[in-house]
Amino acid sequence: MAKITMREAISQALWEEMERDERVFIMGEEVGVWGGTYAVTKGFYDHFGEKRVRDTPIAESVIIGCAIGAALTGLRPVAELMTINFAFAAMDHIVNEAAKLRYMFGGQFTIPLVIRTPGGGGRQLGATHSQTPDAIFAHFPGLKVVAPGTPEDAKGMLKAAIRSDDPILFIEHATLYQVRGEVPAGDYTVPLGKSKIHRPGSDVTVVTYSKMLEVSIKAADQLSKEGIEVEIVDLRSLRPLDMEPVLESFKKTNRAVIVEEGWRSYGVGSEVAARLYEEAFDYVDAPIKRVAQKEVPLPYNRALEQMALPQVEDVVEAVKEVL
């Protein structure tokens, strides 16, 4: 297995799918001549040409709306939003159109659409450019929301998303692009809507995804030195949410910490904790803990920003509290 970065993994998935299927094309701000603001589509414009690598105006509603329309005609657009923060400018088309048209017209419409977008904080970009609003989008039936945490999952899940006939929001954490990981050789897909036990352990279940997988692994390494074995479940998809591996792990450890980068209120942790209480109440040995972002707009100052974001120590502390 080759070790590549998350950026390379995503880029490879796009490239291979475009080579495989003429109907797949990319559209978004600076995806073409510039090569992608995070360099994911570097070299694509020269290889595939302007028909399939389409630079758009800075106009998020029409980027997503146009991609929906193109998908309705049988194409398989991959629309890129420069950051998930700009998804708010396209909110109607993501949650009111992409998520609803199929159902609302009695199943006539098929929308094979992928919206790729980087998200997350930690880069001193200030409050409007640093958000992790994943849970907002996961709220809407009709949309699928996925957020891989490793290069292997990123490549396999993006390929699966492009081949899927449903609208999918594909969230890439911007600070993970440089992270390296092993990726299988050749063509492979990773199914969407499947959680996975990322690291086995016996004492506490840590449920997490995306960037917080990295943070949770570091916490687990630290705890392991103290004799505490954490089992990490990587959700990978937020909608549909696959609770099976979470429940399986929790029924074994009877203790859980949920780690997410977004705000605590109404978040992924709230949802997972509620489901554990609903579906496995008899197995609860300690109150379930949530580790999440402090409830503030993310500040620019580096120290303040890091104070607001969940840290390895926060996870370590929460795990010790549920033990």
Partner 1 sequence: MKKKELLEMYHQMVLIRRLEEKAAELYQQGKIGGFLHLYIGQEAVSTGLISARKPQDRVITAYRDHGVAINAGIPAREVMAELLGKATGTSKGKGGSMHMADVEKNYWGGHAVVGAHLPIATGLALGDQYQGKDGITICMFGDGATNIGFFHESLNLSKVWNLPLLWVCENNQYGMGTAVERASAVNEMRQKAEGYCIPNSRVNGMNVIEVREAAEKYLEFVRSENGPFFLEVITYRYRGHSMGDPERYRLKDEVEKWQTEDPIGIYRRYLLEEKKATSEELDDLETKVLAEVQDAVEFAESSPEPAPEELFVGIYAEE
Site track 6-35 with partner 1 (rule: CB under 8 A), x = hit:
-------------------x----------
Looking at the Cβ atoms of 236 and 289, the one nearer to partner 1 is: 236
Q: Among residues 5, 35, 72, 254, which is the contact residue for partner 1, using CB under 8 A?
A: 72
Any bridge partners for residue 233, and if so which? 197, 207
Backbone angles phi, psi at 24, to 5 degrees: -80, 130
Chain residues 139-158 in contact with partner 1, contact rule CB under 8 A: 141-142, 144
Q: Among residues 2, 33, 62, 274, which is the contact residue for partner 1, using CB under 8 A?
A: 62
The stretch among 6-14, 29-37, 99-107, 289-297 that binds partner 1 (CB under 8 A) is 99-107
Give me 40's structure tokens: 């994911």
- In the complex, the smallest distance separating the C-beta of residue 278 from partner 1, rounded to whole angstroms, is 19
d(CA 196, CA 230): 14
One-letter identity of residue 104: M
d(CA 57, CA 266): 34
Chain residues 161-220 in contact with partner 1, contact rule CB under 8 A: 164-166
- In the complex, the smallest distance separating the C-beta of residue 79 from partner 1, rounded to whole angstroms, is 10
Q: Among residues 1, 74, 278, 295, which is the contact residue for partner 1, using CB under 8 A?
A: 74
The vertex-295 CA angle with 300 and 197, nearest 5°, equals 100
Number of Cα atoms under 13 Å in the Cβ half of residue 284 = 15
d(CA 265, CA 288): 15
Chain residues 41-60 in contact with partner 1, contact rule CB under 8 A: 51, 54, 56-57, 59
Q: Among residues 39, 49, 103, 307, which is the contact residue for partner 1, using CB under 8 A?
A: 103
Backbone angles phi, psi at 116, to 5 degrees: -95, 135
Backbone angles phi, psi at 151, to 5 degrees: -60, -40
Name the one residue in this structure whose structure tokens are 């109440």.
281
Q: Is 129 a catalytic residue?
A: yes
Q: Is 261 a catalytic residue?
A: no
Number of Cα atoms under 13 Å in the Cβ half of residue 185 = 2
Which spans of this chain sit near partner 1 (rule: CB under 8 A)?
25, 51, 54, 56-57, 59, 61-62, 64-75, 77, 92-93, 96-97, 101-112, 141-142, 144, 164-166
Residues tagged active-site: 60, 129
